[in-house]
Amino acid sequence: MPEISVKGRQMPESPIRKLVPYAEAAKKRGRKVYHLNIGQPDIETPEIMVNAVKNFTQKVVAYSHSAGNVSYREKLTGYYKSIGIDITADQIIVAAGASEAILFAMQSTMDPGDEIIIPEPFYANYNGFAVNSGVVVRPIPSFIHDGFALPPITEFEKVITEKTKAIMICNPNNPTGYLYSKEELMVLRDLALKYNLFIFADEVYREFCYDGHTHTSVMQLEGLENHTILIDSVSKRYSACGVRIGCLITRNKEVLATAMKFAQARLSPPSFGQVAAEAALDVPLAYFEAVLKEYDARRNVVYTDLNAIEGAFCPKPKGAFYVVASLPIDNADRFCRWLLEDFDYHGETVMLAPATGFYATQGSGMNEVRISYVLNVDDLHASMKCLKEALRVYPGRTL
């Protein structure tokens, strides 16, 4: 039988989705499963987006420009201007979600064997995108006891080599919920300029900042015009994950021209997705205010209820809708599977994402899980109660 590729063997499983078969089996046994494993919001997608697709009148669903519909890109510039990012339509390449935009960024700026520095834990699929692109991830550990703040710059400099081409951050952060301050971003700016590196900034959660904190974009930092690549998406902002529209934005003309070649090779981004995404730009500010208030309430439930469990701890997230929590368990992967296979509390159980998959360093995150607080407040209270009971009887409990 022909062999699978080396790249295929190296491609990691998703820690978020790999337990799906066990969840499906639990449901077949009559269990109610609280899904805290994936960042799929239960907030309704704005009606204006759905109606835009319903009212599509063109006789042919044709290819768009490889960079995306001009009307959408021009309208996007207005959105970015409203948040202090001054760009032009030709500095935007629309992609099939932030995922494709990250692939374009990596493949446009790095050769196989080149290295990218990423503070860990980080969004698990960054590992997959790096494997896809032949890029080596150099992780810099951040720690739960200080809320997963940006590691000291000396830790970055320890791993910089002639093969280092970029630093990547997610701000606000998935999976930790950490929000990088302007001061932290300025430190990264100085590092990028000192070593002539790109900064990839995944800012898809910028609308979700709590306790009066505000978001600073790398695109707002002076001196980085040729160093920054912004990654964005409509998925979380409008609770429209299945629309699969994101974008790559940069002021670097050479990167744009190169990324366009990759964009042309895949022809064009989704047509109906662009229709919905363009309509989303007319969603009123009141929508975001209501959504942020709801997520803030959910955050407070998880933070309060989880930290009340003996042996459990999570820092209070400043942004996004995730927490990484440490639990009194021997092995996060084993525990998350046990929850679905062997445990229930009054016919209910919880699906979590083991944090091991959010690290590139082997052996890290063994007693940590990521929790997505994307359920309503009542369900979150119930799921935290369920988790408390699970930890009380788990055979691998470490307390």
| Residue 14: per-residue pLDDT | 79
Q: Do 141 and 364 form a contact (C-beta atoms < 8 A)?
A: yes
Closest to 118 in 3D by CA, of 326, 108, 383, 128: 128
Helix or strand holding residue 53 (H, E): helix 47-54
Q: What is the pLDDT along the chain (399 residues), one digit of tens a residue?
A: 999 999 999 998 877 778 999 999 999 999 999 999 988 888 999 999 999 999 999 999 999 999 999 999 999 999 999 999 999 999 999 999 999 999 999 999 999 999 999 999 999 999 999 999 999 999 999 999 999 999 999 999 999 999 999 999 999 999 999 999 999 999 999 999 999 999 999 999 999 999 999 999 999 999 999 999 999 999 999 999 999 999 999 999 999 999 999 999 999 999 999 999 999 999 999 999 999 999 999 999 999 999 999 999 999 999 999 999 999 999 999 999 999 999 999 999 999 999 999 999 999 999 999 999 999 999 999 999 999 999 999 999 998
What span, in angstroms and rounded, lies between the C-alpha atoms of 270 and 278? 12
Q: How crowded is the C-beta side of 115, counted as CA atoms within 13 Å?
A: 12
Q: How crowded is the C-beta side of 96, counted as CA atoms within 13 Å?
A: 13
What span, in angstroms and rounded, lies between the C-alpha atoms of 369 and 394? 15
The CATH code of domain 6-44+286-393 reads 3.90.1150.10
What span, in angstroms and rounded, lies between the C-alpha atoms of 11 and 282? 39
| Residue 254: per-residue pLDDT | 98
Residue extents of the structural domains in the chain: 6-44+286-393, 47-280
DSSP 8-state code for residue 89: G
Q: Do 77 and 92 form a contact (C-beta atoms < 8 A)?
A: yes
Q: Do 202 and 102 form a contact (C-beta atoms < 8 A)?
A: yes
| Residue 18: per-residue pLDDT | 83
| Residue 12: per-residue pLDDT | 87
| Residue 15: per-residue pLDDT | 73
What span, in angstroms and rounded, lies between the C-alpha atoms of 173 and 144? 13
Q: Are strands 198-202 and 228-233 parallel, antiparallel or unpaired?
A: parallel
Helix axes 271-280, 70-82, angle to 10 degrees: 30
Long-range CB contacts for residues 270-274, cutoff 8 Å, separation at least 24: 270/96, 270/243, 270/244, 270/245, 271/61, 271/62, 271/63, 271/64, 272/53, 272/56, 272/61, 273/96, 273/243, 273/244, 273/245, 274/64, 274/68, 274/69, 274/72, 274/94, 274/245
What span, in angstroms and rounded, lies between the C-alpha atoms of 218 and 228? 7
Top CATH class, 47-280: alpha beta
| Residue 36: per-residue pLDDT | 96
What span, in angstroms and rounded, lies between the C-alpha atoms of 76 and 281? 7
275: its two tokens: 């229709």
Residue 182, SS3 per DSSP:
helix
CA 368 to chain centre: 18
| Residue 180: per-residue pLDDT | 97
Q: How crowded is the C-beta side of 85, counted as CA atoms within 13 Å?
A: 27
What span, in angstroms and rounded, lies between the C-alpha atoms of 399 and 397? 6
